[in-house]
């Protein structure tokens, strides 16, 4: 498959799907990323052949040779997004074309073939159609979608692989926050960085997350929920959290986030927040924010709010920041009005409960 060629999917329904009763029991308390639907999508790629053998089939383990290239050289990328059940029984996706575009950017950075964006979105549509009954009916629930691709060629050698497997799976999830949205605490790690200019920070690849785990463990040891990374060059400027972008809200109403330098993941929620904040009348800026300024402005009261954003939690208020030099609170440690207003607006748009002037929501069913 090349260019805009359309790829035909073969559907092989799961011969032994989870019963309706068992599925209902699972959906009563799905948690996050613990249970999975009956089906998955697979598409193969080979140099000289292109994309082929597209299937919707029963979710099952993936056979893998011990010499599969991904196990040795980590050619792997993924995306994360959610399907929502609307009040009238329909199903929506939030900005799937943006995820498809970012998936393509990640593929190029990791020397992998680009899956055509229309095929990416079509694969998710087909998975949702066959596993529609797995979407929680709880207003706080959704169907988390995990499309990913990895090098499947059996070969030991440092070069781009010639064979790849694209897979999409789905997991019903409940509310990310139990008991409501609460401010999180973050640890500014002095020892680790997430990514450097020229590296893979702007690609959504597993290696970035693996590199963050030791720092996340360090954050937990210091009683924090999340780690926040500083830049890899000067160790002064705020980059992002382990898996979320960072925003700052000042007393003049301005909303600021670190610029995309190639070391920060270009979050789709991040871009959406910038648009909605500007639409609400805030002055929005993408500029560097040093950790020292973060602390000084929080202490003086100039900084009123801080929050992180990403697919899983949408918008998360930051209440406390810790570092080896001490700790400080933001806005008294309570969720800010701007933060919570942006969060609610995004949630309502995603679920089809608010106007969508930017055409972000795709109605699937």
pLDDT tens column, 122-171: 999 999 999 999 999 988 899 999 999 999 999 999 999 999 999 999 99
Percent of the chain with pLDDT over 90: 92
pLDDT tens column, 71-108: 999 999 999 999 999 988 899 999 999 999 999 999 99
Contact 123, 42 (CB under 8 A): no
Cβ-proximal residues to 124 (8 Å cutoff; 6+ apart), any chain: 41, 81, 83, 93, 96, 145, 147, 168
List the beta bridge partners of residue 54.
Answer: 9
**Higher-scoring residue by pLDDT: 364, 214:** 214
For residues 305 and 341, what is the distance between their CA atoms, to the nearest angstrom?
Answer: 12
Question: What are the tokens at 187?
Answer: 């640890």
Contact 76, 103 (CB under 8 A): no
Q: What's residue 25's pLDDT?
A: 97
Name the band, by pLDDT with cuts 50, 70 and 90, for residue 3: very low
List the beta bridge partners of residue 247.
Answer: 307
Strands 184-188 and 314-323 turn out to be: parallel
Q: What's residue 28's pLDDT?
A: 94
Name the band, by pLDDT with cuts 50, 70 and 90, for residue 4: very low
Q: What's residue 5's pLDDT?
A: 62
Look over the chain and give the mean of its residue pLDDT values, rounded to a whole number.
95
H/E run at residue 187 = strand 184-188
Q: What's residue 140's pLDDT?
A: 85
Strand, coil or helix: what is 110?
coil
Q: What's residue 275's pLDDT?
A: 98
Name the band, by pLDDT with cuts 50, 70 and 90, for residue 364: confident
**CB-neighbour burial class of residue 60 (10 A; exposed 0-12, middle 13-18, buried 19+):** exposed
pLDDT tens column, 165-204: 999 999 999 987 666 789 999 999 999 999 999 999 999 9
Note the pTM of the prediction, 2 decimals: 0.95
Q: For 311, which DSSP code?
A: T
Q: What's residue 177's pLDDT?
A: 67
Contact 44, 165 (CB under 8 A): yes
Length in residues, the chain: 365
For residues 290 and 294, what is the distance between their CA atoms, to the nearest angstrom?
Answer: 6
Q: What's residue 1's pLDDT?
A: 45
Strands 226-230 and 184-188 turn out to be: parallel
Q: What's residue 179's pLDDT?
A: 66
Q: What's residue 176's pLDDT?
A: 76
Q: What's residue 206's pLDDT?
A: 96
Cβ-proximal residues to 196 (8 Å cutoff; 6+ apart), any chain: 232, 233, 263
pLDDT tens column, 311-357: 998 999 999 999 999 999 999 999 999 999 999 999 999 998 999 99
Contact 215, 230 (CB under 8 A): no
């Amino acid at each position: 498959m090349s260019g805009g060629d359309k790829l035909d999917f073969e559907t092989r329904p799961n011969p032994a799907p989870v019963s309706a009763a068992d599925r209902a029991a699972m959906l009563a308390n799905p948690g996050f990323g613990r249970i999975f639907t009956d089906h998955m999508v697979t598409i193969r790629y080979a140099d000289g052949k292109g994309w082929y053998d597209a299937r919707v089939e029963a979710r099952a383990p993936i056979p893998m040779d011990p010499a599969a290239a991904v196990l040795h050289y980590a050619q792997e990328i993924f995306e994360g997004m959610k399907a929502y059940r609307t009040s009238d029984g329909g199903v929506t996706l939030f900005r799937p074309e943006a995820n498809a575009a970012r998936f393509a950017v990640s593929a190029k950075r990791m020397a992998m073939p680009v899956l055509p964006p229309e095929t990416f979105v079509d694969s998710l549509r087909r998975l949702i159609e066959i596993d529609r009954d797995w979407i929680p009916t709880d207003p706080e629930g959704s169907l988390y979608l995990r499309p990913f691709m990895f090098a499947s060629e059996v070969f030991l050698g440092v070069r781009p692989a010639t064979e790849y497997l694209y897979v999409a799976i789905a997991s019903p999830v409940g509310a990310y926050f139990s008991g409501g949205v609460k401010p999180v605490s973050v640890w500014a790690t002095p020892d680790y960085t997430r990514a450097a200019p020229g590296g893979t920070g702007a690609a959504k690849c597993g290696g970035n997350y693996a590199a963050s785990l030791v720092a996340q463990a360090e954050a937990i040891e210091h009683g924090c929920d999340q780690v926040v990374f500083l830049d890899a060059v000067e160790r002064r400027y705020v980059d992002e959290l382990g898996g979320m972008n960072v925003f700052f809200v000042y007393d003049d109403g301005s909303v600021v986030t670190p610029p995309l330098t190639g070391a920060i993941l270009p979050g789709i929620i991040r871009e959406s927040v910038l648009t909605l904040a500007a639409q609400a009348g805030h002055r929005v800026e993408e500029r560097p924010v040093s950790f020292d300024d973060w602390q000084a402005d929080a202490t003086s009261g100039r900084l009123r709010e801080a929050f992180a954003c990403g697919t899983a939690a949408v918008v998360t208020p930051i209440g406390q920041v810790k570092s080896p030099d001490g700790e400080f609170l933001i806005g008294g440690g309570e969720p800010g009005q701007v933060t919570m207003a942006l969060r609610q607006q995004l949630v309502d748009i995603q679920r089809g409960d608010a106007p969508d002037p930017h055409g972000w929501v795709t109605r699937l069913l």
